[in-house]
Structure 1
Amino acid sequence: MLNAIEVILICLVAQAALTDLAMRKIPNVLILSGLLLALILHLLSGQAGAPVSQWLAGVVAGFFLFLPLYLLRGMAAGDVKLMAMVGGFTGPSQALQIAVLSYLTGGAIALLMLLLSGRWRDSARNLRLICTPLLLRLLGVPLLPVPLAPKASVGGIPYGVAIALGTLGVVAWQHH
């Protein structure tokens, strides 16, 4: 049986996924509402220290688990904030599980989108452009940073869908 925190979390990530699919954006009001709801539910849980050990630690964990991909331009800020909100509901341990499952799901979605759009060659070119300087630096060759071309992206994926599926997977596995 799902508890109140899980039901509200599933509703919020489902809304984020639908909005991300429709508009390619996750609204801040959804994130902020979720963060506030998670904090209130943890305060009402009666567990001593839950707002710090679960809510705050989960928010920080969720945020920092997705921050590297944002910094590498692999996802949008809304996706990072959504994962922070998910962490606020679940706590740091489950946030890690959800992040790993979301990474795997997001990778599968990205590959599927690349294959269906026929832009896998462009993606391979971008990967080569990103990895070549890194490899040369590892070999000790000093290089100046080279920015990507303005239209280098082969398209974004609705990562809110991957986060929603990752969340659903972890919650379902707990009740298995």
Structure 2
Amino acid sequence: MHSSTIGFLLLLLLAAAWCDIRSRRIPNLLVFPGAIIGVLLHALLPQETGGVGILGSLAGLGTGLALLLPLYLLRIMGAGDVKLMAMTGAFLGAQPTVGALLCVLLAGGVLALGAALLEGKLRLLWRNLNVMLLEALAGGVMTGLPVSGKPGEAVGGAVAESTAESAAESVGSLPYGVAIAAGTMAYLAIARWN
């Protein structure tokens, strides 16, 4: 990848992470022009110098969008995060976007663990992960499990609350733009050394 492309991408990612930390929003005024810049750079750069061409750039944009859109639809991730990953894809191309997303998801997991640890919510995070895993293994239907105010304790033989309700307490929200920036930078560093 051409150094000017990497430079523009890194500046945009750092700006998005900063905005996400400060306001928990990633502005459209950053990601839309950023995506256009990514496509234009690849349209102008010869493929011999690291350009992926206009079609490759658009494929990367679509890949970034398509991979995170289901998480937005499930309300796991914000729309700004999805648009930021699409913009990142416009700079990287389709195949590198998939690799970058794997690094982004790992960075997001580390960020979530760190935030839960700092806020003293590691036990709640672990409980929520266990409930999600059990529900996934049971096909999404977990009814009738005895859960009360104290985990694992039934009250008079009656079900005090459903499993989904017991996991409803959120550990908190994360500025996922930070994970997208960190994961993409890690991917670029790994790709540079290989």
Category of TM-score, reference length = shorter chain: 0.7 to 0.9
- From the superposition, tell whether residues 138 and 153 of structure 1 become closer, same or farther in structure 2 (CA, over 3 Å): closer
Q: CA offsets, 1:29-85, max 9 Å, x none?
A: 101011110111112124598111x11110111112222322333221111110110
Task: Indicate whether 1:137 and 2:154 are aligned.
Answer: no
| Residue in structure 2 matched with residue 89 of structure 1 by the alignment | 91
Deviation at 1:133, TM superposition (A): 4.1
Summarize the alignment of residues 1-176 of structure 1 with structure 2, pairs less than 5 Å apart.
Answer: 3-47=3-47, 50-52=53-55, 54-137=56-139, 152-176=169-193
* Deviation at residue 119 of structure 1 after TM alignment: 1.6
Deviations 1:100-126 (Å, cap 9, x if unpaired)? 001001101101111111122333443
| Count of aligned residue pairs for this structure pair | 170
Q: Could you tell me which runs of 5 or more consecutive residues in structure 1 were left unpaired when the two chains were aligned.
A: none
CA 1:124–1:6: 2 relative to 1, 3 Å:
same
Is the partner of 2:169 in helix, strand or coil?
A: coil
**Structure holding more helix per residue:** 1
> Please, what TM-score do these two structures have when normalized by structure 2?
0.76
Whether contact under 8 Å (1:75, 1:156) holds in the other structure is no
Distance 1:56 1:80 in 2: 15
Tell me the TM-score normalized by structure 1: 0.83
Identity in percent: 39
The answer to whether the 8 Å contact 2:65/2:85 transfers is: yes
How far apart in 1 are the matches of 2:142 and 2:173?
33
Q: Specify whether residues 125 and 174 from structure 1 end up closer, same or farther in structure 2 by C-alpha distance, changes over 3 A only.
A: closer
Distance 2:52 2:92 in 1: 14
Report the 3-state secondary structure (helix = DSSP H, G, I; strand = E; otherwise coil) of the residue aligned with 2:139: helix
Q: Which runs of 5+ in 2 are unaligned?
A: 144-162
Structure-2 change in CA distance of 1:60 and 1:113 (3 Å):
same
| Structure 2 Cα separation of the partners of residues 138 and 18 of structure 1 | 36
Q: What is the letter of the counterpart of residue 155 of structure 1?
A: G
Q: 1:29 to 1:148 in 2, by over 3 A?
A: farther
Of the structure 1 ranges 108-117 and 166-175, higher mean CA displacement relative to structure 2 is found in 166-175
Partners of 1:138 and 1:157 in 2: how far apart? Answer: 25
Give the RMSD, CA atoms, in angstroms. 2.8
Aligned residue type for 2:187: V
1:58–1:91 CA contact under 8 A, matched in 2: yes
